[in-house]
Amino acid sequence: MWDFRTGDNSLEKVLKIYDEDLQARLSSKGVEKRIILRTCNRLEIYYDSDVIFDDDIFPGSKFLRGEDAIRHILRVSAGLESMSVGENEILRQIKEAMEQAIKDGRSNKFLSMVFHRAIKLGKEIREKTEISHGKVSIPSIMIDQIGKRGLINSKRIGIIGTGKMAATIVKYLKKEENPIVTIYGRNEDAGKELADLFDVNFRKTLDIPTIIEECDVIITATTSKTILVEKGEIEKISKKMLLVDISNPKNIDENFINPSVELLNLEMANQIMEENRKRKEKDIVLAEEIIRKEMDKIYTKIAEGEIEGYISEIYGRARSIMEDEIVKYNAAIAAGKDPSETLIVMGNSFINKILAPQTLALKRMIREGKTESVRDFLDSASDFSDDESDQKDFSFEDPKESRNRQDQNHQLSQMP
Protein backbone atom coordinates (compact mmCIF):
# COMPACT_ATOMS: atom_id res chain seq x y z
CA MET A 1 0.00 0.00 0.00
CA TRP A 2 0.97 3.60 -0.56
CA ASP A 3 -0.81 6.61 0.88
CA PHE A 4 -0.19 10.28 1.63
CA ARG A 5 2.08 9.27 4.54
CA THR A 6 4.46 7.34 2.27
CA GLY A 7 7.82 9.07 2.00
CA ASP A 8 10.26 9.59 -0.89
CA ASN A 9 7.45 10.62 -3.26
CA SER A 10 6.62 6.92 -3.64
CA LEU A 11 2.88 7.60 -3.85
CA GLU A 12 3.32 10.13 -6.64
CA LYS A 13 5.50 7.67 -8.55
CA VAL A 14 3.16 4.71 -8.19
CA LEU A 15 0.08 6.75 -9.10
CA LYS A 16 1.76 7.36 -12.45
CA ILE A 17 1.53 3.62 -13.20
CA TYR A 18 -1.37 3.07 -15.55
CA ASP A 19 -3.99 0.47 -14.59
CA GLU A 20 -3.04 -1.84 -17.48
CA ASP A 21 0.58 -2.00 -16.31
CA LEU A 22 -0.50 -2.47 -12.70
CA GLN A 23 -2.81 -5.35 -13.61
CA ALA A 24 -0.08 -6.95 -15.73
CA ARG A 25 2.42 -6.84 -12.85
CA LEU A 26 -0.06 -8.54 -10.54
CA SER A 27 -1.00 -11.22 -13.05
CA SER A 28 2.68 -11.94 -13.75
CA LYS A 29 3.01 -13.00 -10.09
CA GLY A 30 -0.09 -15.18 -10.19
CA VAL A 31 -2.30 -12.77 -8.25
CA GLU A 32 -5.61 -13.10 -10.09
CA LYS A 33 -8.09 -12.26 -7.33
CA ARG A 34 -7.57 -8.67 -6.24
CA ILE A 35 -9.35 -5.40 -5.56
CA ILE A 36 -7.46 -2.19 -6.37
CA LEU A 37 -8.37 0.94 -4.42
CA ARG A 38 -6.96 3.99 -6.21
CA THR A 39 -7.65 7.56 -5.04
CA CYS A 40 -5.78 10.85 -5.15
CA ASN A 41 -4.12 10.01 -1.83
CA ARG A 42 -3.70 6.24 -1.84
CA LEU A 43 -3.10 3.15 -3.92
CA GLU A 44 -3.93 -0.11 -2.16
CA ILE A 45 -4.15 -3.61 -3.59
CA TYR A 46 -6.09 -6.21 -1.64
CA TYR A 47 -5.63 -9.80 -2.72
CA ASP A 48 -6.39 -13.32 -1.53
CA SER A 49 -3.05 -15.06 -1.90
CA ASP A 50 0.18 -15.89 -0.09
CA VAL A 51 2.29 -14.10 -2.72
CA ILE A 52 4.76 -11.53 -1.38
CA PHE A 53 6.12 -8.96 -3.83
CA ASP A 54 9.72 -7.88 -4.14
CA ASP A 55 10.50 -4.20 -3.69
CA ASP A 56 11.71 -4.01 -7.30
CA ILE A 57 8.18 -4.83 -8.53
CA PHE A 58 6.43 -2.26 -6.33
CA PRO A 59 9.08 0.01 -4.75
CA GLY A 60 8.43 1.99 -1.59
CA SER A 61 5.36 0.02 -0.60
CA LYS A 62 4.08 -1.17 2.76
CA PHE A 63 2.79 -4.73 3.12
CA LEU A 64 0.00 -5.83 5.46
CA ARG A 65 -1.48 -9.31 5.71
CA GLY A 66 -4.20 -11.22 7.50
CA GLU A 67 -5.80 -9.44 10.44
CA ASP A 68 -3.79 -6.25 9.85
CA ALA A 69 -4.97 -5.99 6.24
CA ILE A 70 -8.62 -6.54 7.17
CA ARG A 71 -8.44 -4.01 10.00
CA HIS A 72 -6.86 -1.51 7.63
CA ILE A 73 -9.69 -1.60 5.06
CA LEU A 74 -12.17 -1.17 7.93
CA ARG A 75 -10.24 1.90 9.13
CA VAL A 76 -10.08 3.25 5.59
CA SER A 77 -13.85 2.87 5.17
CA ALA A 78 -14.40 4.65 8.50
CA GLY A 79 -12.35 7.61 7.30
CA LEU A 80 -9.71 7.08 10.00
CA GLU A 81 -6.93 6.62 7.44
CA SER A 82 -7.95 9.57 5.28
CA MET A 83 -5.89 12.72 5.00
CA SER A 84 -8.99 14.52 6.29
CA VAL A 85 -10.39 12.25 9.00
CA GLY A 86 -14.03 11.26 8.54
CA GLU A 87 -14.31 12.24 4.87
CA ASN A 88 -17.20 10.59 3.03
CA GLU A 89 -15.81 10.25 -0.48
CA ILE A 90 -13.76 7.19 0.45
CA LEU A 91 -16.90 5.09 0.94
CA ARG A 92 -17.94 5.65 -2.67
CA GLN A 93 -14.40 4.88 -3.84
CA ILE A 94 -14.29 1.59 -1.91
CA LYS A 95 -17.67 0.57 -3.33
CA GLU A 96 -16.59 1.39 -6.89
CA ALA A 97 -13.31 -0.51 -6.46
CA MET A 98 -15.20 -3.61 -5.30
CA GLU A 99 -17.80 -3.37 -8.07
CA GLN A 100 -15.10 -2.98 -10.73
CA ALA A 101 -13.25 -6.05 -9.46
CA ILE A 102 -16.47 -8.09 -9.49
CA LYS A 103 -17.28 -6.86 -13.01
CA ASP A 104 -13.79 -7.84 -14.22
CA GLY A 105 -14.02 -11.27 -12.54
CA ARG A 106 -11.13 -10.43 -10.23
CA SER A 107 -12.89 -10.68 -6.87
CA ASN A 108 -13.96 -13.80 -5.00
CA LYS A 109 -16.31 -14.66 -2.16
CA PHE A 110 -13.82 -13.76 0.55
CA LEU A 111 -12.68 -10.41 -0.87
CA SER A 112 -16.28 -9.39 -1.58
CA MET A 113 -17.33 -10.35 1.95
CA VAL A 114 -14.60 -8.19 3.52
CA PHE A 115 -15.36 -5.19 1.31
CA HIS A 116 -19.13 -5.47 1.80
CA ARG A 117 -18.61 -5.48 5.56
CA ALA A 118 -16.18 -2.56 5.31
CA ILE A 119 -18.74 -0.46 3.43
CA LYS A 120 -21.48 -1.36 5.91
CA LEU A 121 -19.17 -0.52 8.83
CA GLY A 122 -18.24 2.84 7.31
CA LYS A 123 -21.89 3.81 7.15
CA GLU A 124 -22.51 2.59 10.72
CA ILE A 125 -19.63 4.63 12.15
CA ARG A 126 -20.86 7.79 10.44
CA GLU A 127 -24.33 7.20 11.90
CA LYS A 128 -23.14 6.51 15.45
CA THR A 129 -20.44 9.18 15.70
CA GLU A 130 -19.87 12.76 14.56
CA ILE A 131 -16.67 11.84 12.75
CA SER A 132 -18.03 13.11 9.41
CA HIS A 133 -19.58 16.31 10.74
CA GLY A 134 -18.29 19.66 9.50
CA LYS A 135 -15.96 20.20 6.56
CA VAL A 136 -14.20 16.88 6.25
CA SER A 137 -13.47 16.36 2.55
CA ILE A 138 -10.42 17.88 0.90
CA PRO A 139 -12.56 19.73 -1.69
CA SER A 140 -14.75 21.27 1.02
CA ILE A 141 -11.70 22.34 3.04
CA MET A 142 -10.10 23.92 -0.02
CA ILE A 143 -13.32 25.74 -0.97
CA ASP A 144 -13.50 27.03 2.60
CA GLN A 145 -9.94 28.38 2.29
CA ILE A 146 -10.81 30.11 -1.00
CA GLY A 147 -13.84 31.67 0.68
CA LYS A 148 -11.76 32.95 3.59
CA ARG A 149 -9.62 34.81 1.06
CA GLY A 150 -12.70 36.50 -0.40
CA LEU A 151 -12.22 34.82 -3.75
CA ILE A 152 -15.60 33.20 -4.35
CA ASN A 153 -18.28 35.88 -4.53
CA SER A 154 -18.40 37.20 -8.14
CA LYS A 155 -14.91 35.85 -8.80
CA ARG A 156 -13.89 33.91 -11.90
CA ILE A 157 -12.99 30.36 -10.84
CA GLY A 158 -11.53 27.92 -13.34
CA ILE A 159 -11.55 24.18 -12.69
CA ILE A 160 -9.16 22.07 -14.75
CA GLY A 161 -10.58 18.56 -14.95
CA THR A 162 -13.83 16.85 -15.91
CA GLY A 163 -13.81 13.82 -13.59
CA LYS A 164 -15.37 12.97 -10.24
CA MET A 165 -13.10 15.20 -8.17
CA ALA A 166 -13.87 18.15 -10.43
CA ALA A 167 -17.59 17.38 -10.07
CA THR A 168 -17.25 17.39 -6.28
CA ILE A 169 -15.55 20.80 -6.37
CA VAL A 170 -18.27 22.29 -8.59
CA LYS A 171 -20.93 20.88 -6.27
CA TYR A 172 -19.37 22.64 -3.26
CA LEU A 173 -18.82 25.88 -5.20
CA LYS A 174 -22.46 26.03 -6.26
CA LYS A 175 -23.42 26.19 -2.58
CA GLU A 176 -21.48 29.45 -2.28
CA GLU A 177 -22.62 32.94 -3.28
CA ASN A 178 -22.30 33.99 -6.95
CA PRO A 179 -19.16 32.20 -8.12
CA ILE A 180 -18.46 32.42 -11.87
CA VAL A 181 -17.33 28.88 -12.65
CA THR A 182 -15.78 27.57 -15.83
CA ILE A 183 -14.68 23.95 -16.37
CA TYR A 184 -11.65 23.42 -18.61
CA GLY A 185 -10.66 20.13 -20.24
CA ARG A 186 -10.14 18.18 -23.43
CA ASN A 187 -12.97 15.69 -22.88
CA GLU A 188 -15.83 17.61 -24.44
CA ASP A 189 -18.57 15.07 -23.67
CA ALA A 190 -17.66 14.80 -19.97
CA GLY A 191 -17.11 18.55 -19.69
CA LYS A 192 -20.44 19.51 -21.23
CA GLU A 193 -22.27 16.92 -19.17
CA LEU A 194 -20.74 18.31 -15.98
CA ALA A 195 -21.41 21.91 -17.01
CA ASP A 196 -25.05 21.15 -17.83
CA LEU A 197 -25.53 19.27 -14.57
CA PHE A 198 -24.40 22.24 -12.43
CA ASP A 199 -25.29 25.09 -14.81
CA VAL A 200 -21.73 26.36 -15.24
CA ASN A 201 -19.52 27.11 -18.25
CA PHE A 202 -17.29 24.69 -20.16
CA ARG A 203 -14.33 25.38 -22.42
CA LYS A 204 -12.60 22.69 -24.43
CA THR A 205 -9.03 23.79 -23.81
CA LEU A 206 -6.04 23.16 -21.61
CA ASP A 207 -4.15 26.20 -22.86
CA ILE A 208 -2.82 27.43 -19.53
CA PRO A 209 -2.03 31.06 -20.53
CA THR A 210 -5.65 31.41 -21.72
CA ILE A 211 -7.01 29.92 -18.51
CA ILE A 212 -4.78 32.22 -16.42
CA GLU A 213 -6.02 35.24 -18.33
CA GLU A 214 -9.68 34.29 -17.83
CA CYS A 215 -9.58 33.38 -14.11
CA ASP A 216 -8.90 34.79 -10.64
CA VAL A 217 -8.66 31.31 -9.11
CA ILE A 218 -7.52 28.10 -10.80
CA ILE A 219 -8.23 24.70 -9.26
CA THR A 220 -6.61 21.61 -10.75
CA ALA A 221 -8.38 18.30 -10.18
CA THR A 222 -7.17 15.77 -12.72
CA THR A 223 -5.56 12.34 -12.90
CA SER A 224 -2.79 13.71 -15.13
CA LYS A 225 0.57 12.09 -14.45
CA THR A 226 2.45 15.27 -15.40
CA ILE A 227 2.63 18.95 -14.38
CA LEU A 228 -0.04 21.03 -16.15
CA VAL A 229 0.74 24.51 -14.81
CA GLU A 230 4.49 25.00 -15.10
CA LYS A 231 6.86 27.30 -13.23
CA GLY A 232 7.53 29.57 -16.20
CA GLU A 233 3.83 30.22 -16.81
CA ILE A 234 3.23 31.03 -13.13
CA GLU A 235 6.13 33.49 -12.94
CA LYS A 236 4.67 35.47 -15.87
CA ILE A 237 1.43 36.18 -13.96
CA SER A 238 1.17 39.89 -13.14
CA LYS A 239 -2.17 39.94 -11.29
CA LYS A 240 -3.20 38.61 -7.90
CA MET A 241 -4.09 34.97 -8.31
CA LEU A 242 -4.79 31.89 -6.19
CA LEU A 243 -3.78 28.45 -7.47
CA VAL A 244 -5.29 25.39 -5.80
CA ASP A 245 -3.91 21.93 -6.55
CA ILE A 246 -5.82 18.97 -5.14
CA SER A 247 -4.39 16.49 -7.63
CA ASN A 248 -1.98 13.70 -6.82
CA PRO A 249 0.47 13.59 -8.57
CA LYS A 250 0.71 17.36 -8.43
CA ASN A 251 -0.60 19.32 -11.42
CA ILE A 252 0.95 22.68 -10.44
CA ASP A 253 4.70 23.26 -10.19
CA GLU A 254 5.34 24.59 -6.69
CA ASN A 255 8.91 25.78 -7.35
CA PHE A 256 7.98 29.23 -8.59
CA ILE A 257 8.80 32.73 -7.34
CA ASN A 258 5.97 35.23 -7.78
CA PRO A 259 4.65 37.28 -4.82
CA SER A 260 1.40 37.91 -6.71
CA VAL A 261 0.51 34.21 -6.75
CA GLU A 262 -0.51 32.05 -3.78
CA LEU A 263 -0.55 28.27 -3.98
CA LEU A 264 -2.64 25.87 -1.91
CA ASN A 265 -1.98 22.17 -2.32
CA LEU A 266 -2.50 18.97 -0.36
CA GLU A 267 0.69 19.36 1.66
CA MET A 268 -0.29 22.86 2.74
CA ALA A 269 -3.70 21.58 3.82
CA ASN A 270 -2.13 19.15 6.29
CA GLN A 271 -2.23 21.59 9.21
CA ILE A 272 -5.96 22.21 8.73
CA MET A 273 -6.65 18.49 8.59
CA GLU A 274 -4.52 17.79 11.65
CA GLU A 275 -6.58 20.31 13.61
CA ASN A 276 -9.69 18.54 12.34
CA ARG A 277 -8.34 15.22 13.64
CA LYS A 278 -7.64 16.65 17.11
CA ARG A 279 -11.21 17.96 17.38
CA LYS A 280 -12.55 14.48 16.72
CA GLU A 281 -10.42 12.42 19.09
CA LYS A 282 -13.44 11.14 21.04
CA ASP A 283 -15.18 10.07 17.85
CA ILE A 284 -12.02 8.35 16.67
CA VAL A 285 -11.86 6.31 19.90
CA LEU A 286 -15.52 5.31 19.50
CA ALA A 287 -14.96 4.39 15.85
CA GLU A 288 -11.99 2.21 16.78
CA GLU A 289 -14.12 0.33 19.34
CA ILE A 290 -16.77 -0.32 16.66
CA ILE A 291 -14.01 -1.59 14.36
CA ARG A 292 -12.70 -3.92 17.09
CA LYS A 293 -16.14 -5.50 17.48
CA GLU A 294 -16.49 -5.86 13.72
CA MET A 295 -13.11 -7.61 13.55
CA ASP A 296 -14.41 -10.17 16.05
CA LYS A 297 -17.49 -10.75 13.86
CA ILE A 298 -15.43 -11.14 10.70
CA TYR A 299 -13.06 -13.65 12.24
CA THR A 300 -15.98 -15.59 13.69
CA LYS A 301 -17.46 -15.76 10.19
CA ILE A 302 -14.13 -16.87 8.73
CA ALA A 303 -13.74 -19.55 11.42
CA GLU A 304 -17.29 -20.78 10.84
CA GLY A 305 -16.61 -21.06 7.12
CA GLU A 306 -13.44 -23.08 7.73
CA ILE A 307 -15.13 -25.38 10.26
CA GLU A 308 -18.13 -25.91 7.97
CA GLY A 309 -15.71 -26.97 5.26
CA TYR A 310 -14.06 -29.53 7.51
CA ILE A 311 -17.42 -30.83 8.74
CA SER A 312 -18.62 -31.18 5.16
CA GLU A 313 -15.57 -33.29 4.39
CA ILE A 314 -16.26 -35.52 7.42
CA TYR A 315 -19.85 -36.10 6.29
CA GLY A 316 -18.70 -36.66 2.73
CA ARG A 317 -16.18 -39.26 3.91
CA ALA A 318 -18.87 -40.92 6.06
CA ARG A 319 -21.19 -41.19 3.06
CA SER A 320 -18.40 -42.72 0.97
CA ILE A 321 -17.63 -45.27 3.73
CA MET A 322 -21.34 -46.08 4.05
CA GLU A 323 -21.67 -46.71 0.33
CA ASP A 324 -18.62 -49.01 0.37
CA GLU A 325 -20.02 -50.97 3.33
CA ILE A 326 -23.41 -51.35 1.63
CA VAL A 327 -21.67 -52.82 -1.44
CA LYS A 328 -19.82 -55.29 0.82
CA TYR A 329 -23.04 -56.13 2.69
CA ASN A 330 -24.95 -56.86 -0.53
CA ALA A 331 -22.10 -59.02 -1.79
CA ALA A 332 -22.07 -61.00 1.49
CA ILE A 333 -25.83 -61.54 1.36
CA ALA A 334 -25.57 -62.65 -2.27
CA ALA A 335 -22.91 -65.15 -1.17
CA GLY A 336 -25.34 -66.65 1.35
CA LYS A 337 -23.97 -65.06 4.54
CA ASP A 338 -26.28 -64.66 7.54
CA PRO A 339 -27.96 -61.18 7.29
CA SER A 340 -27.84 -60.47 11.04
CA GLU A 341 -24.18 -61.34 11.43
CA THR A 342 -23.29 -59.46 8.24
CA LEU A 343 -25.15 -56.40 9.49
CA ILE A 344 -23.20 -56.45 12.77
CA VAL A 345 -19.90 -56.76 10.89
CA MET A 346 -20.89 -53.86 8.62
CA GLY A 347 -21.93 -51.72 11.60
CA ASN A 348 -18.67 -52.32 13.47
CA SER A 349 -16.60 -51.60 10.39
CA PHE A 350 -18.58 -48.44 9.71
CA ILE A 351 -18.18 -47.17 13.30
CA ASN A 352 -14.43 -47.87 13.38
CA LYS A 353 -13.74 -46.21 10.04
CA ILE A 354 -15.87 -43.16 10.88
CA LEU A 355 -14.58 -42.54 14.42
CA ALA A 356 -10.93 -43.60 14.05
CA PRO A 357 -9.55 -40.25 12.76
CA GLN A 358 -11.43 -38.23 15.40
CA THR A 359 -10.41 -40.64 18.18
CA LEU A 360 -6.76 -40.52 17.19
CA ALA A 361 -6.89 -36.70 16.98
CA LEU A 362 -8.40 -36.43 20.49
CA LYS A 363 -5.75 -38.76 21.95
CA ARG A 364 -3.00 -36.71 20.28
CA MET A 365 -4.44 -33.52 21.77
CA ILE A 366 -4.34 -35.10 25.23
CA ARG A 367 -0.68 -36.06 24.72
CA GLU A 368 0.00 -32.46 23.72
CA GLY A 369 -1.47 -31.16 26.97
CA LYS A 370 -4.78 -29.98 25.50
CA THR A 371 -6.91 -31.97 27.91
CA GLU A 372 -9.19 -29.05 28.77
CA SER A 373 -10.02 -28.47 25.11
CA VAL A 374 -10.82 -32.17 24.67
CA ARG A 375 -13.00 -32.14 27.79
CA ASP A 376 -14.86 -29.01 26.62
CA PHE A 377 -15.51 -30.59 23.22
CA LEU A 378 -16.76 -33.89 24.68
CA ASP A 379 -18.94 -32.11 27.27
CA SER A 380 -20.46 -29.97 24.53
CA ALA A 381 -21.08 -33.00 22.31
CA SER A 382 -22.79 -34.87 25.15
CA ASP A 383 -25.28 -32.01 25.57
CA PHE A 384 -27.06 -33.03 22.36
CA SER A 385 -29.56 -35.88 22.61
CA ASP A 386 -30.13 -38.43 19.87
CA ASP A 387 -33.55 -36.91 19.20
CA GLU A 388 -32.00 -33.47 18.66
CA SER A 389 -29.41 -34.92 16.29
CA ASP A 390 -32.11 -36.71 14.30
CA GLN A 391 -33.93 -33.40 13.78
CA LYS A 392 -30.88 -31.60 12.39
CA ASP A 393 -30.19 -31.39 8.66
CA PHE A 394 -26.54 -32.41 8.45
CA SER A 395 -26.35 -32.21 4.68
CA PHE A 396 -22.87 -32.36 3.17
CA GLU A 397 -21.30 -31.06 0.01
CA ASP A 398 -18.83 -32.61 -2.34
CA PRO A 399 -15.33 -32.61 -0.74
CA LYS A 400 -13.96 -30.73 -3.78
CA GLU A 401 -16.50 -27.95 -3.26
CA SER A 402 -15.64 -27.96 0.43
CA ARG A 403 -11.95 -27.42 -0.32
CA ASN A 404 -12.83 -24.58 -2.69
CA ARG A 405 -14.79 -22.92 0.08
CA GLN A 406 -11.86 -23.27 2.49
CA ASP A 407 -9.57 -21.72 -0.11
CA GLN A 408 -11.86 -18.70 -0.15
CA ASN A 409 -11.29 -18.27 3.57
CA HIS A 410 -7.57 -17.52 3.20
CA GLN A 411 -6.36 -14.50 5.08
CA LEU A 412 -6.53 -11.25 3.14
CA SER A 413 -3.27 -9.67 2.06
CA GLN A 414 -2.88 -6.00 1.29
CA MET A 415 -0.22 -5.29 -1.21
CA PRO A 416 2.43 -4.91 -1.15
Do 229 and 253 meet the contact criterion of CB atoms below 8 Å apart?
A: yes
The lowest-confidence range among 151-160, 332-341, 401-410 is 401-410
Which residues form the domain of 189? 138-269
In a domain, residue 413? The reply is: no
In a domain, residue 61? The reply is: no
Cβ-count burial 100-114 (b if 16+ within 10 Å, e if not): ebeeeebbbebbbbb
In a domain, residue 344? The reply is: no
Q: 125 CB contacts (<8 Å, ≥6 apart)?
A: 78, 79, 131, 287, 290, 291
In a domain, residue 254? The reply is: yes
In a domain, residue 148? The reply is: yes
Supply the pTM of this predicted model.
Answer: 0.62
The whole-angstrom separation of Cα 329 and Cα 321 is 12
The whole-angstrom separation of Cα 284 and Cα 292 is 12
C-alpha dihedral (109, 33, 43, 228), degrees to nearest 10: -120
Question: Which of 17-21, 189-193, 295-299: highest mean pLDDT?
Answer: 189-193
In the structure, how many helices (H) and strands (E) does the chain have? 16, 11
Q: What's the mean pLDDT when you consider all of the chain? A: 85
In a domain, residue 327? The reply is: no
Each residue's pLDDT tens digit, 342-381: 999 888 988 888 888 888 988 998 999 989 888 888 888 7
Q: Which of 26, 31, 35, 40 is catalytic?
A: 40
40 is catalytic: yes
In a domain, residue 179? The reply is: yes
In a domain, residue 131? The reply is: no
Would you say residue 66 has pLDDT above 60? Answer: yes
| CATH code for the domain of 168 | 3.40.50.720
Each residue's pLDDT tens digit, 308-340: 777 788 888 888 888 998 999 999 999 999 999
Each residue's pLDDT tens digit, 41-65: 788 999 988 777 766 667 777 888 8
* Total domains present in the chain: 1
